[in-house]
Amino acid sequence: MNSEQKISDRVLKVKNYIEERKDWQLQDLQNFYNNASNDKKITEYEKEILTELCEKIITERFPKKNSRKMLNNKSSDAKILLEEVYSDLIKNFDLSKNKVKNGVKPGGYMIGGQMYVDWYISYKNEEKFNTGFCYLQKSEETEPYIEVNFRKVGTDLDEKKDFPIPLKDEALLLFKNHLSKIIVK
């Protein structure tokens, strides 16, 4: 991610409001998270700033509620698998020009309560091509799976392919293929 990226006045005001407010309810923070994730008027960088702030406050202010479970315990398998994938990627790809934050990140569907588990790795280039490797689980009762996606932001290009966890290597091969197409050499 580029460190010289700017934050708009609008996003800065929202960020300050989130930081300064003391009477948060968990649902309010989830709503802020969802709104930031879906806002088409702010950059990916600004979305990450706001969503990471919401995640931090959820973890700090709701330690005895399901916030820890929402972000951590139920996600240990996902995080382990994705950390292994990410370690492999950084050995084989130059991710320095990524327009979104590098690393393993919690997904908006989990924070917003629409998915039981949602963690991912993504890469987006200057031309707004984006690919992701996602570990998803719809509910506690369903099996987790991997989704590999490839899209161009602002267009109809939006491809997704799901893989059962035992086919992780096949999913990773597809993700690497997508990365090879969009990473500027």
Q: What secondary structure does DSSP assign to the chain, as a single string?
A: --TT----HHHHHHHHHHHH-----HHHHHHHHHHHHH-TTS-HHHHHHHHHHHHHHHHHH-TTTTHHHHHTGGGHHHHHHHHHHHHHHHHH---TT-SS--S-EE-HHHHTTS-SEEEEEEEE-TT-EEEEEEEEESSTTSPPEEEEEEEETTSS-EEEEEEEGGGHHHHHHHHHHHHHHHS--
| pLDDT at res. 185 | 65
Boundary of a domain, candidates 25, 51, 69: 69
- Classify residue 1: in a domain, yes or no: no
- Classify residue 4: in a domain, yes or no: no
Boundary of a domain, candidates 42, 69, 96: 69
Mark whether 43 and 106 lie in a shared domain: no
| pLDDT at res. 65 | 55
Boundary of a domain, candidates 69, 90, 107: 69
| pLDDT at res. 63 | 61
| pLDDT at res. 27 | 80
**Cβ atoms of 76 and 117 closer than 8 Å:** no
Q: What is the CB neighbour count within 10 angstroms for residue 17? A: 10
Mark whether 154 and 172 lie in a shared domain: yes
Domain that holds residue 113: 75-182
Mark whether 58 and 117 lie in a shared domain: no
Mark whether 118 and 158 lie in a shared domain: yes
| pLDDT at res. 73 | 59
Q: Output the CA torsion 65→132→174→165 (10° steps).
A: 0
- How confident is the prediction along the chain (185 residues), in pLDDT tens digits per residue? 444 468 889 899 999 998 888 888 888 887 787 788 777 888 878 888 888 888 788 777 776 555 444 554 577 889 889 999 999 999 999 999 999 889 998 888 887 778 889 999 999 999 999 999 999 999 888 999 999 999 998 899 999 999 999 999 999 999 999 999 999 76
Which pTM does this prediction carry?
0.67
- Classify residue 175: in a domain, yes or no: yes
